[in-house]
């Protein structure tokens, strides 16, 4: 394996892994806080047990997210030293703030996990909330740093030198808001559907129905709100990308030639050699509308982009299709769920609805990963859009392939172990929480 | 502002050595505990470091973020030429962190525990060993940025007698710190005695490996003796460390545990000061005789200003909260 490809694969793997784990660690504290709140308000032991059960999940994911995040802060330099040498001082601001947010999160988590019966109960609840809020803040800050790579700001690039550096301006670059919003909603949606689905599965199996039903409800509401809001944020993102990174938008839609009006392509098989797309459904003018809010507007195709500045089209296009497809599906499930919740409560326990949620367990995360593929692959060949190429940033050290193999092994085994642990946690629910008296 | 940033950097590194080191040490102690006492040790250990270990490791992140934002040249030089030891240390950090959490949160206690325990112990050892190797390499002057040869560019920079001696020295120090920390964490007199014994062994280990560091430095042509003994600060630090060593042994034998922690922390701090003061602000010594100084590689003014501000703001938020965490869980037994 060629070193450059190995470095990219290792980075993709590390990020892909970290994203899932940190999303769970960032969203589940909110589920936990709701359940904890209900326990404090209603004194219903089930909520207390649920809070504890979830907090164990949070502990597992937080630790995995924390170590994989530590890894990443080193890997940035290990794999992309040239990038970090120049980018560090410019886009470092969100990272230094993220350090604070993450530190607070770790401290609050220490309080929360070990604070049962030791702290004032509302202070204890508050520490749980702090975990969630600071986790979310960390997420937003890291995404702001990534947004800078898509939309470099806060410096002047003169003769290959980075001058007049302004880290605050860099942090509030043009892409940070749309990316952070999209990511936060995605985190809630994906985690919500995954958690709701797991509990739905347990309800279907008739185990500890009361426990799982309460859990399901909390997670499902978060998931469905997220899924319903996501299209709005997607629209903001699309218009933003169209303005800032026409090459990425063209790759997302496999738009090889500039068109006016441009059709929206759904599906289709991309042939990168002939630069054609076969078998896609075309909706005339729709891309013009999505990108520019006008059915007649011109959309820049890849023909307007220099050859050596075009991102890989097939991967970007497929990933985009997967993301949008799943997003739409989850939105439909959410509509059904809310319709039942508000109008037809008697249908909520229908087995087919629960099965739908079980089916959706992995979907949110698949869409989330696909979305990151779109934004990262769609930025190529640039590591800092328009400024530095990815291949110029890679480490001079040879043999990165081996490090990639080691990392693959580690991440695969970690994923296996974490899944195994969760399976065991869930399997133990009847034994740990069946008797109504609480244990510590 | 650059002084604020450098202070935080030094503080981050120091606290990571002390707190993170005590964490690693806990695993090392477990590694060197006889099988029959292991489950007791594990229990004390979990109670002692469970609530705080994640916070302890944040110091590493703080230090690394300061490096890559404020001193990008140093950060990239480290990550290019010390790629391999950094990688091993990272793998160790991942392995021990996850194994520690997994072994506690695995709802079923079965044979998997055996695996988690193994991983936790060995990775604690390896992580602290390589942490020491990296620290040693930075000042060893073996890092060769001009070489095109794989071995001399990416391997011999850290694979040399001096760095390895520093590595083992670090392992012993971590074990020592952990043993001292654990003494205060147990109420059981038998366990207390065991941890006191461990602290004594680890301390002897530290002295032996400390001597090895000097010998290795001599063979690798590193003027360590000059650094430590030829300037007042270094000399004072080493004298204070030695004096506290005597006091420490006295207290250990007497079984007085309260001052021990402060004293152990003080001792390790003095050792770090003694080794690093002579070439401060130089952070990395290179083979070609040059050095990378913190002041010379510092990032642009605005970056340092906002970084310093973020750090100050962060510490206002963090420190009271962190102090309360330690306080709260210290008091729990009483």
- Kindly state the average pLDDT of the residues B69-76: 86
> Residue A434 gets which letter from DSSP?
S
Give the span between the Cα atoms of B76 and B215, in whole angstroms: 30
Which A-chain residues 210-269 have CB contacts (< 8 A) with chain B?
none
Nearest to A107 among B302, B313, B322 (CB): B322
Q: What is the pLDDT, as a whole number, of residue A186?
A: 94
Interface touch A71/B90, C-beta < 8 Å = yes
Q: What is the pLDDT, as a whole number, of residue A433?
A: 64
Examine the pLDDT at A432 and tell me if it is beyond 70. Answer: no
Decide if the complex's ipTM is over 0.85. Answer: no
Angle (deg, nearest 10), helices B53-70 and B2-15: 140
CB contacts of B86 in chain A (<8 Å) are 74, 78
C-beta separation of A89 from B303 below 8 A:
yes
Q: Which residue has the tokens 């005339």?
A: A284
Interface touch B102/A421, C-beta < 8 Å = yes
Pick the residue from chain B with its C-alpha nearest to A394: B80
Distance to chain A for B64, nearest Cα, Å: 7
Distance to chain B for A137, nearest Cα, Å: 13
pLDDT digits (tens, 9 = 90+) for B44-59: 777 776 666 766 777 8
Pick the residue from chain B with its C-alpha nearest to A421: B106
Q: Tokens for A357?
A: 């949620």
Examine the pLDDT at B84 and tell me if it is beyond 80. Answer: yes
pLDDT digits (tens, 9 = 90+) for A108-119: 888 888 878 777
> Residue B19 gets which letter from DSSP?
I
pLDDT digits (tens, 9 = 90+) for B221-244: 777 777 777 788 888 888 888 888
Within its chain, how far is the Cα of A227 from the centroid?
Answer: 13
Examine the pLDDT at A225 and tell me if it is beyond 90. Answer: yes
- Measured over the CA atoms of residue B5, residue B9, residue B15 and residue B16, the dihedral's sign is positive
Within its chain, how far is the Cα of A175 from the centroid?
Answer: 16
Picking from A59, A89, A412 by the largest number of B CB atoms within 10 A of its own CB, the best residue to mutate is A89
Which A-chain residues 6-65 have CB contacts (< 8 A) with chain B?
56, 59-60, 62-64
CB contacts of A167 in chain B (<8 Å) are 302-303, 306-307
Q: What is the pLDDT, as a whole number, of residue B333?
A: 47
By CB atoms closer than 10 A (0-12, 13-18, 19+), residue A190 is buried
pLDDT digits (tens, 9 = 90+) for A6-36: 889 999 998 998 898 889 888 999 999 999 9
pLDDT digits (tens, 9 = 90+) for A170-197: 888 888 899 999 999 999 999 999 999 9
Distance to chain B for A407, nearest Cα, Å: 9
Which has the minimum average pLDDT: A136-140, A419-423, B102-106? B102-106
- Kindly state the average pLDDT of the residues A294-318: 87
CB contacts of B68 in chain A (<8 Å) are 73, 76-77, 84, 88, 92, 95
CB contacts of B329 in chain A (<8 Å) are 110, 114
Q: H-helix or E-strand containing B108?
A: none
Interface touch B321/A60, C-beta < 8 Å = no
The mean predicted confidence, pLDDT, of chain B is 80
Interface touch B58/A103, C-beta < 8 Å = yes
Which has the minimum average pLDDT: A381-390, B131-140, B249-258? B249-258
Is pLDDT larger for residue B228 or for residue B65?
B65
C-beta separation of B26 from B48 below 8 A:
yes
The mean predicted confidence, pLDDT, of chain A is 86
Three-class secondary structure of residue A312 per DSSP? coil
Give the span between the Cα atoms of A199 and A186, in whole angstroms: 20
Give the span between the Cα atoms of A384 and A391, in whole angstroms: 11
Interface touch B329/A110, C-beta < 8 Å = yes
By CB atoms closer than 10 A (0-12, 13-18, 19+), residue B291 is middle
């Amino acid at each position: 394996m060629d070193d450059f490809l190995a470095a990219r694969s290792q980075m993709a793997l590390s990020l892909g892994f970290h994203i899932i784990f940190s999303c769970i660690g960032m969203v589940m504290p909110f589920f936990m806080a709701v359940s904890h709140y209900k326990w404090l308000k209603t004194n219903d032991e089930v909520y207390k047990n649920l809070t504890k059960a979830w907090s164990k999940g949070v502990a597992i994911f937080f630790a995995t997210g924390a170590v994989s995040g530590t890894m990443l802060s080193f890997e940035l330099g290990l794999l992309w030293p040239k990038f970090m040498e120049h980018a560090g001082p410019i886009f470092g601001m969100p990272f230094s703030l993220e350090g604070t947010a993450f530190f607070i999160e770790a401290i609050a988590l220490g309080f929360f996990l070990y604070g049962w019966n030791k702290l004032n109960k509302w202070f204890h609840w508050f520490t749980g909330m702090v975990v969630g809020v600071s986790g979310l803040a960390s997420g937003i800050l890291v995404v702001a740093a990534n947004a800078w790579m898509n939309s470099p700001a806060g410096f002047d690039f003169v003769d290959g030198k980075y001058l007049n550096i302004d880290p605050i301006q860099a942090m509030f670059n043009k892409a940070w808001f749309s990316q952070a919003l999209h990511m936060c909603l995605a985190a809630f949606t994906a985690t919500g559907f995954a958690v709701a689905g797991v509990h739905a599965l347990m309800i279907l199996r008739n185990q500890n129905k009361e426990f799982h039903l309460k859990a399901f409800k909390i997670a499902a509401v978060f998931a469905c709100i997220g899924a319903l809001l996501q299209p709005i944020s997607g629209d903001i993102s699309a218009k933003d990308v169209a303005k800032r990174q026409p090459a990425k938008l063209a790759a997302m839609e496999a738009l090889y030639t500039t068109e006016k009006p441009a059709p929206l392509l759904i599906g289709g098989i991309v042939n990168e050699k002939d630069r054609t797309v076969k078998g896609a459904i075309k909706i005339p003018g729709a891309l013009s509308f999505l990108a520019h809010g006008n059915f007649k507007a011109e959309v820049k195709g890849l023909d307007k982009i220099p050859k050596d500045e075009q991102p890989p089209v097939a991967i970007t296009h497929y990933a985009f299709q997967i993301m949008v497809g799943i997003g739409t599906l989850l939105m439909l499930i959410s509509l059904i769920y809310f319709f039942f919740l508000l109008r037809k409560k008697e249908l909520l326990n229908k087995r087919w609805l629960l099965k739908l949620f079980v089916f959706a367990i992995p979907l949110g995360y698949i869409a989330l990963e696909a979305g990151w593929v779109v934004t990262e692959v769609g930025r190529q060949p640039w590591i800092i859009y328009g400024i530095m190429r990815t291949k110029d940033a890679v480490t001079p050290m040879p043999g990165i392939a081996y490090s990639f193999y080691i990392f693959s092994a580690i991440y695969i085994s970690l994923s296996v172990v974490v899944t195994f642990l969760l399976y065991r946690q869930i399997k133990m629910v009847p034994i740990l929480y069946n008797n109504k008296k609480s244990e510590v | 502002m650059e002084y604020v940033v450098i202070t935080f950097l030094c503080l981050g590194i120091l606290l990571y050595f002390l707190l993170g080191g005590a964490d690693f040490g806990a695993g090392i102690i477990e590694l060197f505990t006889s099988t029959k006492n292991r489950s007791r040790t594990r229990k004390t250990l979990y109670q002692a470091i469970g609530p705080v270990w994640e916070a302890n490791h944040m110091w590493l992140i703080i230090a690394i973020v300061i490096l890559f934002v404020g001193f990008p040249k140093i950060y990239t030089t480290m990550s290019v030429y010390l790629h391999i030891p950094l990688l091993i240390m990272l793998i160790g950090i991942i392995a021990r962190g996850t194994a520690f959490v997994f072994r506690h949160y695995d709802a079923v206690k079965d044979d998997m525990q055996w695996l988690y325990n193994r991983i936790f112990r060995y990775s604690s050892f390896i992580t602290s060993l390589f942490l020491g190797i990296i620290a040693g390499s930075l000042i060893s002057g073996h890092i060769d940025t001009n070489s095109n040869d794989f071995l001399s560019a990416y391997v011999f920079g850290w694979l040399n007698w001096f760095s390895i001696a520093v590595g083992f020295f670090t392992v012993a120090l971590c074990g020592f710190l952990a043993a001292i920390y654990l003494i205060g964490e147990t109420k059981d007199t038998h366990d207390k005695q065991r941890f006191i014994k461990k602290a004594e062994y680890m301390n002897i280990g530290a002295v032996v490996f400390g001597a090895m560091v000097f010998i290795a430095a001599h063979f690798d042509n590193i003027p360590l003796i000059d650094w430590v003994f030829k300037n007042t600060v270094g000399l004072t630090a080493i004298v204070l460390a030695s004096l506290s060593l005597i006091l420490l042994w006295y207290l250990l034998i007497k079984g007085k545990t309260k001052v021990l922690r402060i004293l152990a922390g003080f001792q390790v701090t003095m050792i770090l000061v003694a080794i690093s003061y002579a070439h401060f602000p130089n952070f990395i010594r290179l083979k070609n005789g040059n050095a990378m100084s913190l002041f010379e590689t510092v990032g642009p003014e605005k970056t340092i200003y906002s970084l310093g501000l973020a750090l100050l703001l962060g510490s206002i938020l963090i420190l009271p909260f962190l102090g309360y965490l330690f306080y709260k869980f210290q008091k729990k037994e009483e």
